[in-house]
Chain A
Amino acid sequence: MALLTWQAIKEGDALPELKKRPGVTQLVKYAAGSGDFNPLHHDYQFPQSKQLGSIIVHGRFKYAALGELVSNWLGYAGRIKKISCQYRGMDFPDREFVCRGIVTRKWEENGEHLVALEVWTESDEGKKTTPGEAVIAIRS
């Protein structure tokens, strides 16, 4: 992987998109990895799942996927200082959502090379279900 440099980053740059299509098995792996065993994310017989007509993808899975989007772009060229998102809409298993991001700002502060990103997940209906932001410090 070519190392990302501060010099090369421009405001308006788009991060390479990350497609996700978690099925039940993937959500079970996430439950085990995160410790969140809420049946709403794996059990179709759970009352809240029945009410919704389906199980739903963990909000935190989408948050972590936005982290993966940033990690894949950043590589080992710096570190995440802040990453946030809001859970605005539900995503369902076996349906694709896409993680996207753009560089909104690039600046220097206290000797650090900083980049702000707008990140979000987009459902297969084109809805921004998980909008968020991140701030990255680039090493060189």
Chain B
Amino acid sequence: MAKEFEITDEMRAAIGNESPAWTYEVTTTSVRAFARGVGYTDPVYFDVEAARRAGYRSLPAPPTYLGTPVFIPGRSSDTFTFPTQGQPTVKHGLKGLLDGGTETEYFSDVCAGDTLRVVNRLENLEVRESKALGKMLITTQRTIFTNQDGKVVAVQTGQAIYY
């Protein structure tokens, strides 16, 4: 828990930085794995025929699922599967990490068979204080998902809390 924490000019300079692009895949197997992990029973997320009957071109990505990052040992986080170079870095020295919130805005459908090009941008840094965690650094990141046709299908905005 940090009593004092300030955003330095060096940290502030990272705002606007973008990560190199990485590939996220949406496959029939990955959609089923996610839907099964959440506990869905709706057949459209499992059975391609049921999905087609419902009007989808293949299994639709369940809400909040935007593909699985391609995993390559040494280049991907063993814990989070994200590319290690996939997050613009801020050197802040804080050890604790909590997920603050997530917003997903969709511009088009995402279905099994789609390959997404994903870029992360550091949008904002902010310091807040809580009784339980002391001074916290709140980072806001925007993740832009572009499909194989060059269309931005979704933008996800997330807050990470470092304390």
CB–CB A30/B37 < 8 A:
yes
Q: Which of B35, B79, B80, B104 is in CB contact (< 8 Å) with A84?
A: B104
Known: A35-B69, A64-B64. A82 touches B37 (CB 8 A): no
B93 within 8 A of A: no
CB–CB A84/B37 < 8 A:
no
A2 CA to B66 CA in the complex, in Å?
28
Could you say which of A30, A34, A70, A82 has the most chain B C-beta atoms within 10 Å of its C-beta?
Answer: A34
A26 CA to B71 CA in the complex, in Å?
22
Could you say which of B35, B54, B64 has the most chain A C-beta atoms within 10 Å of its C-beta?
Answer: B64
CB–CB A82/B80 < 8 A:
no
B156, closest chain A residue (CB): A84
CB–CB B106/A81 < 8 A:
yes
- Across the A-B interface, how many residue pairs have beta carbons closer than 8 Å? 105
A6 within 8 A of B: no
A102 within 8 A of B: no
A31 CA to B37 CA in the complex, in Å?
7
B35, closest chain A residue (CB): A33
Q: Which of B62, B79, B100 is in CB contact (< 8 Å) with A37?
A: B79
B139 within 8 A of A: no
A72 CA to B62 CA in the complex, in Å?
11
CB–CB A68/B34 < 8 A:
no
A63 CA to B35 CA in the complex, in Å?
13
- B50-91 interface code vs A (CB 8 A; 1 in, 0 out): 000011100000111100110100000011111000000000
CB–CB B63/A83 < 8 A:
yes
A32 within 8 A of B: yes
Known: A32-B37, A76-B54, A83-B64. A63 touches B79 (CB 8 A): no
Known: A35-B68, A84-B103, A87-B98. A67 touches B36 (CB 8 A): no
Question: How many residues of chain B get a CB closer than 8 Å to chain A's CBs?
Answer: 36
A70 CA to B71 CA in the complex, in Å?
30
Q: Tell me how far the C-beta of B72 lies from the nearest C-beta in chain A, rounded to whole angstroms.
A: 13
A60 CA to B40 CA in the complex, in Å?
15
B150 within 8 A of A: no
Q: Which of B62, B71, B82, B103 is in CB contact (< 8 Å) with A71?
A: B62
Q: Tell me how far the C-beta of B96 lies from the nearest C-beta in chain A, rounded to whole angstroms.
A: 9
CB–CB B38/A33 < 8 A:
yes
A28, closest chain B residue (CB): B37
Known: A26-B39, A67-B64, A80-B63. A37 touches B103 (CB 8 A): no
Q: Can you report 5 residue pairs joining A to B where beta carbons are below 8 Å apart? A: A64-B37, A64-B65, A67-B63, A76-B44, A87-B100
Chain A residues packing against B (C-beta within 8 Å): 20, 22, 26, 29-39, 59-61, 63-68, 70-72, 76, 79-87
Known: A71-B62, A85-B101. 13 other contacts (CB 8 A): A29-B37, A30-B38, A35-B71, A36-B79, A60-B99, A61-B38, A64-B65, A68-B39, A71-B40, A81-B106, A82-B104, A83-B64, A87-B99
